[in-house]
Structure 1
Amino acid sequence: MTTLRHGDRSQAVLILQKNLNKHGAKLVPDGDYGDATEIAVRAYQLKVGLVADGVAGTKTQASLAGGDCAQLLRNVDLVTAADRLGVPLASIYAVNEVESKGRGFLDNGKPVILFERHIMYRQLAKVRHPGDDPAELKRHTDQLAVANPALVNPKSGGYSGGTAEHQRLAMARLIDETAALESASWGAFQIMGFHWQRLGYASVQDFVAAMSAGESQQFDAFTRFIETDPALHKALKARKWAEFAKLYNGPDYLRNLYDTKLQRAYERHAGCECGRGVAA
């Protein structure tokens, strides 16, 4: 399903317009995603509780077709985050639009994850208890790396993608459950499990349970991630998009134009506080 947005002209936009009309919009179905169509999309999203960004992605189109929205991110989640972080709602819309992977769950209902074997290597060698011998931990970790290089490795890589990442994680959990769960990134915002303590969860298992419950919980983790990183939070408040993108994405932000995308998304959403009050 192709994401449709302002400026698009296609048969898919025509179908979208007809579906919106079935839900009360009064659009001229001309296949042109102009201002009127964007307003109609936002109105529909607000009505059903989805993120009211005016973009007709897979979630909005699925909802129009009668799909289940129970696990999906809600507009009220973004409104709450904007208040909590002290930033305009447009900033939260922009960050959600650019930094999210678009969906937090696979078709089989499991959360989107990516297992990082180099993080597993690091977490296994981590001193966790009084009396742990760092040299012994390192020796044992190196032995595991030789025996299971796809799961424990000082170098990153070995990704399988999609549901196969859960198979990799399941095998890693047989080695050490806590280290394995800490070594995967979770949900739509790919928050690493090892951040659980900083983000205020009781355990990594508690964090994983939240990430498996719904996109609202995944977005809450993302909000906590910003909240507990003073530099990241400051950059978001000041709308210093290059700084925010660099801190969140690393040096690749320039190559992927994250800062430009954030600026453009913010400008598109600025002035539209349409989610306030209505969805709450």
Structure 2
Amino acid sequence: MTTLRPDDRNQAVLILQKQLNAQGAGLYLDGHYGESTEQAVQAFQRRAGLVADGVAGPKTLAALAGQDTGHLLKQRDLEQAAERLGLPLASVLAVNRVESKGEGFLPNGKPAILFERHVMRERLLEHRYVLPGLASPEATVESLETRYPGLVNTRPGGYAGGVAEHQRLASARQIHDTAALESASWGLFQIMGYHWQRLGYARVQEFAHAMAESEARQLEAFVRFVEADPALHKALQGRRWAEFAKRYNGPAYGKNLYDVKLARAYAQFAGQPEAA
């Protein structure tokens, strides 16, 4: 689904303005996503309980169309996360905009995931899994690599995307349920399943169930992830965006300008000049 942003000019913006007017916005229908349209979007988002960021993404458009948004992230969820982490709301809004996938669920209602075949190999070795008739975990992963290279491999890749990632996960679960669930990244913030224990879940199955419940539960996993890493937490509290991005995204964070995007998003939500 299309995402409409400030300064867009197209037919989709005109349709958006008509939908907002049906909600009482009183906009001039010019197809330009100007300040008045942005304010009208934010006002609708607040009424709907959605994240009030002024961007008309799939969630806002779904709400305007009258679809159920009960499982989607709400403004109050972000406010509670900010309070729990000791952060200004603007910091959490910035992280949500830059570091989240935007949608924690697929159109079929399943949580957004990405199955990592190289992690599956590592987790099978970690669990010391041995297939019947084989002598060791090492022999097992070698056999599985030959038979199922899309599920067990030394190299990342093999992604199918979208709903098909759940088909990959289902096949991997037939090999080893726990290792498979640990080998996928889950939800809005792409938290890897193998973090389940340090995040305080009893089992990875409990973690996966929580990720399938709502985007609020996915945000809670992110909050736990930050709390479990004091250095990451302090970087976020101090708005040291480069350090936070490096710890969260890895050393290649600069290629995608994560730190720059975080700083700009924070400045916008905090109402500061962009130079901040």
Settle same-fold status: TM greater than 0.5: yes
Alignment of 1:261-276 (within 5 A): 261-271=261-271
Give, in whole Å, the separation in 2 of the partners of 1:103 and 1:31. Answer: 25
Give, in whole Å, the separation in 2 of the partners of 1:50 and 1:38. Answer: 14
- The match for 2:221 is 221
User: CA offsets per residue over residues 170-198 of structure 1, 9 Å max, x none?
Assistant: 11111100000000111121110000011
Answer yes or no: is 1:185 the counterpart of 2:220. no
Any idea what SS the aligned residue of 1:185 has?
strand
Range 177-186 or range 229-238, more displaced = 229-238
- The match for 1:95 is 95
- The match for 1:167 is 167
User: CA offsets per residue over residues 157-178 of structure 1, 9 Å max, x none?
Assistant: 1111111111111111111000
- Matching residue's letter, 1:29: L
Give, in whole Å, the separation in 1 of the partners of 2:15 and 2:147. Answer: 54
Give, in whole Å, the separation in 2 of the partners of 1:147 and 1:56. Answer: 45
Give, in whole Å, the separation in 1 of the partners of 2:254 and 2:266. Answer: 18
Give, in whole Å, the separation in 1 of the partners of 2:84 and 2:160. Answer: 36
Q: How much does 1:127 deviate?
A: 4.7
Q: Which has the higher contact order (CA 8 A, sep 6+)?
A: 1
Alignment of 1:20-169 (within 5 A): 20-127=20-127, 136-169=136-169
Q: How much does 1:145 deviate?
A: 2.2
- The match for 1:276 is none
- The match for 1:197 is 197
- Matching residue's letter, 2:154: P
Give, in whole Å, the separation in 2 of the partners of 1:30 and 1:162. Answer: 35
| Structure 1 residues without counterparts, runs of 5 or longer | 130-134, 273-280
Aligned residues: 267
Q: How much does 1:136 deviate?
A: 2.8
Give, in whole Å, the separation in 1 of the partners of 2:259 and 2:7. Answer: 21
- Matching residue's letter, 1:180: A
Give, in whole Å, the separation in 1 of the partners of 2:271 and 2:161. Answer: 38
Give, in whole Å, the separation in 2 of the partners of 1:150 and 1:31. Answer: 45
- The match for 2:2 is 2
| Structure 2 residues without counterparts, runs of 5 or longer | 130-134
TM-score (structure 2 length as normaliser): 0.91
CA-atom RMSD, angstroms?
Answer: 1.8
Moved over 3 A (4+): none
Q: How much does 1:147 deviate?
A: 2.6
